[in-house]
Amino acid sequence: MASATSANAASAAMHLVDYADPGAIKQVPTRNGFGEGLIEAGRRDEHVIAICADLSESTRMEGFKKAFPTRYLEIGVAEQMLVAMAAGLAATGKVPFIASYAMFNPGRSWEQVRTTMALNQTNVKIAGAHAGVSVGPDGATHQAVEDVAIMRVIPKMTVVVPCDSVQTKRATLAVAAQWGPAYLRFARAESAVVTTEETPFELGVAQTFREGGDVAIVACGILVYNALIAADELAKDGIECRVVNNHTIKPMDEPAIVAAARDCGAVVTVEEHQVQGGMGSRVAEILAAQHPAPIEFIGVHDRFGQSGTPAELTEEYGMGVASIRAAVLRALGRKRARNGR
Amino acid sequence: MDSLSPEALRDLELHANDVRVGIIRSLLAAGSGHAGGSLDMADIFTALYFHLMRHDPTNPELPDRDRLLLSCGHIAPVRYAAMACAGYFPVEELLTLRHFGTRLQGHPERVSLPGLETTSGPLGEGLAQGTGMALGAKMDGSDWRVYVVTSDGEHQCGLHWEAMMTAGKFKLDNLTCIVDRNVIQIDGSTEDVMPLEPFADKYRAFNWEVFECDGHDIAAFVDAVEKAKQVKGKPQVVIAHTVMGKGVSFMEGDYLWHGKPPKKDEAEQALRELSEARELIGAGR
């Protein structure tokens, strides 16, 4: 079982928290990382401004508002305006971050995003808060599980779904520094912090958080933690999973995805999003063209969300640790059947 | 700003005639496109490019240029023709309109042709972007102005009203919206499809200063914009009353000319009429 050592080596190389130790894990909402990252981005670049559609506290823009009051604009509940006005501001050299719930921006504002941000090539950054069913009690109207799909089909968009609050801060700084339209997605609920300040981060570069050769779990967002726990549990049964933190949905790290399929022979994708059109779909597109392999998809399967606690909803929609373990076993079975074993 | 001398006015009218000729020629070459609204905004685009705006056709990225946004991108032919006549690019390039590989896309694309300021066509988005630009100018202490040309029909889009509210909130007196009030949209009269009246009162209710003029009286339009520029603490709208298809007798006031180009014989007749009109202008009427 040399792979157990290599699994730890991968984790060490990424400077991860000892996630297997519940006492070492802090629970912090990813949106907090956005708030911190935005203030730091504002310090680094005076052109960074923030615009909010009446949700400054819950999107965590309020810190920027206090730090840079003259660079903060409040335009009320008007998400189409949020995007189009930001495009106009970007035309004057500003770097606008625009925040609302993902359901409303880019949910309500898709055509403005396509025309005024992407086709028009303006340097606007969308912060999509409260994405996924883990929004919890607010229910289906406020649970965006289609946003990655509608953003990743737009040419020239960068789409990022960081795995925890620390990485969300890093991702915020990265999209601020990189010219071009971008969508940054994060969540409301507290979630496990698995990365540290020492963990590397580069847009478009997927990260191997755990090494293994039996099945590759390609995950994004706050479910990366569940993927790591599932992999550790499977290791006790002698099944070694590679866990890839696939934080950049567009442009996706195609070599890393192909390598995962080639090295492991089967893939499980894990995302808090519809399985149609999301991160897993992009993985399937890449592998169908370059290295066909059995794929199992963890995510929301063509349903709307509902009220509940984040934990209840994660289980209900089949995104918990047990569901990921079961998907790995299915993928492994398909791989073995394919290989004639 | 001084009012227009008779000579200056005559020059502008000649330029507007050139712009209309450019519209007809480019639409004939394209075989598709929107003749009616393009023709009816020829006088206003001429006034903007040849008299009102701070700009440099040889340097479309001039930092302190006034920004002209065309929100209703389907009347791109009038903007292209005015830009060509003003010297942004050769007039003969107008004949590439809507062709494969052209810089003159069917609806304007900013990254395709320098000087466009925005990509437009999806209606109701121009004022929102212009509001952002005007706000950016205020934040930077810049003195350039933003002009946004809109159709009346696109005032049915919710986003336009979000922009009106926002521009009022931020007191953007460096922002002037110009409305092509021809009372016509694709399916007929705006007042039948979705009434806009009382139109001016709606702007006033959103804390805008309102000016109205005959959109084919260049002197009156110039006067309205000059007055608008003097307004402090409020965005301004110039509601320009226009006749769709203005300058070509058989197109004037007919909504069926909203979205189609002239055929060859129709274009020939239109060019004959414009040639006759030009002689009248040249003769000082």
**Residue B132 to residue A70, Cβ atoms within 8 A:** no
Are the CB atoms for A45 and A95 separated by under 8 Å? yes
Whether A6 has a pLDDT exceeding 90, the answer reads no
**Residue A78 to residue B162, Cβ atoms within 8 A:** yes
Could you say which of A70, A88, A94 has the minimum Cβ distance to residue B129? A88
Residue the block writes with tokens 């320009």? B240
A84 contact B CB<8A: yes
Whether B48 has a pLDDT exceeding 90, the answer reads yes
Smallest Cα distance from B169 to chain A, Å:
9
Burial class of residue A213, CB neighbours in 10 A (0-12, 13-18, 19+): middle
Are the CB atoms for B54 and B68 separated by under 8 Å? no
* A to B CB pairs, distance under 8 Å: 94
Q: Which domain holds residue B216?
A: 6-282
Whether B160 has a pLDDT exceeding 60, the answer reads yes
Taking contacts as CB-CB distances below 8 angstroms, the residues of chain B near A72 are: none
Domains of chain A by start residue, with CATH? 2-25+197-336 (3.40.50.920), 27-192 (3.40.50.970)
Q: Say which amino acid occupies A335.
A: K
Adjacent-strand bridge partners of A297: A269
Taking contacts as CB-CB distances below 8 angstroms, the residues of chain B near A71 are: 139
In a domain, B62, yes or no: yes
Could you say which of A80, A88, A112 has the minimum Cβ distance to residue B130? A88
Whether B1 has a pLDDT exceeding 80, the answer reads no
pLDDT band at A341 (very low <50, low <70, confident <90, very high): low
Could you say which of A80, A94, A115 has the minimum Cβ distance to residue B136? A94
Can the peptide bond before residue B122 be classed as cis, meaning omega within 30 degrees of 0?
A: no
Whether A5 has a pLDDT exceeding 70, the answer reads no
- Tens-digit pLDDT profile for residues A278-323: 999 999 999 999 999 999 999 999 999 999 999 999 999 999 999 9
A48 contact B CB<8A: no
- Tens-digit pLDDT profile for residues A244-286: 999 999 999 999 999 999 999 999 999 999 999 999 999 999 9
Give the pLDDT confidence score for residue A276 in this predicted structure.
Answer: 97
pLDDT band at B27 (very low <50, low <70, confident <90, very high): very high
Could you say which of A81, A91, A115 has the minimum Cβ distance to residue B166? A81
Give the pLDDT confidence score for residue A8 in this predicted structure.
Answer: 80
Smallest Cα distance from B110 to chain A, Å:
6
ipTM over 0.85: yes
Query: Residues A73-93: what's their mean pLDDT?
Result: 98
Are the CB atoms for A143 and A308 separated by under 8 Å? no
Taking contacts as CB-CB distances below 8 angstroms, the residues of chain B near A181 are: none
Whether B3 has a pLDDT exceeding 80, the answer reads no
| CA B178/CA A171 separation, integer angstroms | 41
Measured over the CA atoms of residue A138, residue A142, residue A146 and residue A151, the dihedral's sign is negative
Whether A2 has a pLDDT exceeding 60, the answer reads no
Give the pLDDT confidence score for residue A224 in this predicted structure.
Answer: 98
Both tokens of A4, joined, read 């157990």
- The number of angstroms, rounded, from the C-alpha of B237 to the middle of its chain's C-alpha atoms is 13
- The number of angstroms, rounded, from the C-alpha of A269 to the middle of its chain's C-alpha atoms is 12
**Residue A81 to residue B162, Cβ atoms within 8 A:** yes
Could you say which of A49, A80, A88 has the minimum Cβ distance to residue B159? A80
**What percent of chain A is predicted at pLDDT more than 70?**
98
Q: Which helix (H) or strand (E) holds A258?
A: helix A254-264
**Residue B159 to residue A115, Cβ atoms within 8 A:** no
In a domain, B1, yes or no: no
Smallest Cα distance from B41 to chain A, Å:
24
Out of A79, A146, A211, A296, the active site residue is A79
Give the other-Cβ count within 10 Å of A285's Cβ: 13
Both tokens of A242, joined, read 């590679």
Residue the block writes with tokens 């016509």? B184
Residue the block writes with tokens 């790591």? A228
- Tens-digit pLDDT profile for residues B72-100: 999 999 999 999 999 999 999 999 999 99
Taking contacts as CB-CB distances below 8 angstroms, the residues of chain A near B135 are: 73, 85, 88-89
Query: Residues B146-175: what's their mean pLDDT?
Result: 98
Are the CB atoms for B159 and B150 separated by under 8 Å? no
Give the pLDDT confidence score for residue A340 in this predicted structure.
Answer: 85
Mutation for B interface: A71, A75, A81, most B CBs within 10 A: A81
Give the other-Cβ count within 10 Å of B193's Cβ: 14
Give the pLDDT confidence score for residue A180 in this predicted structure.
Answer: 98
Burial class of residue B101, CB neighbours in 10 A (0-12, 13-18, 19+): exposed
Give the pLDDT confidence score for residue B101 in this predicted structure.
Answer: 97
Give the pLDDT confidence score for residue B2 in this predicted structure.
Answer: 56
Give the pLDDT confidence score for residue A228 in this predicted structure.
Answer: 98
A208 contact B CB<8A: no
Give the pLDDT confidence score for residue A4 in this predicted structure.
Answer: 57
In a domain, B27, yes or no: yes
The total of structural domains in chain B comes to 1
CATH of the domain at B110: 3.40.50.970
Could you say which of A85, A111, A120 has the minimum Cβ distance to residue B119? A120
Question: Between A3 and B264, where is the model more confident?
Answer: B264
Smallest Cα distance from A187 to chain B, Å:
27
Mutation for B interface: A83, A85, A119, most B CBs within 10 A: A85
Taking contacts as CB-CB distances below 8 angstroms, the residues of chain B near A94 are: 136, 139
Chain B residues with CB within 8 Å of chain A CB? 67, 109-111, 117-122, 125, 128-137, 139-140, 142, 158-159, 162-163, 165-166, 169
Nearest residue of chain A to residue B110 (CA atoms): A120
**Residue A91 to residue B128, Cβ atoms within 8 A:** no
Nearest residue of chain B to residue A82 (CA atoms): B128
Q: Is A79 tagged catalytic? A: yes
**Residue B136 to residue A89, Cβ atoms within 8 A:** yes
Whether A163 has a pLDDT exceeding 80, the answer reads yes
Taking contacts as CB-CB distances below 8 angstroms, the residues of chain B near A120 are: 109-111, 118-119
- Tens-digit pLDDT profile for residues B228-251: 999 999 999 999 999 999 999 999
In a domain, B224, yes or no: yes
Residue the block writes with tokens 């437009």? B120
Adjacent-strand bridge partners of B237: B177, B210
Whether A1 has a pLDDT exceeding 80, the answer reads no
| CA B41/CA B72 separation, integer angstroms | 11
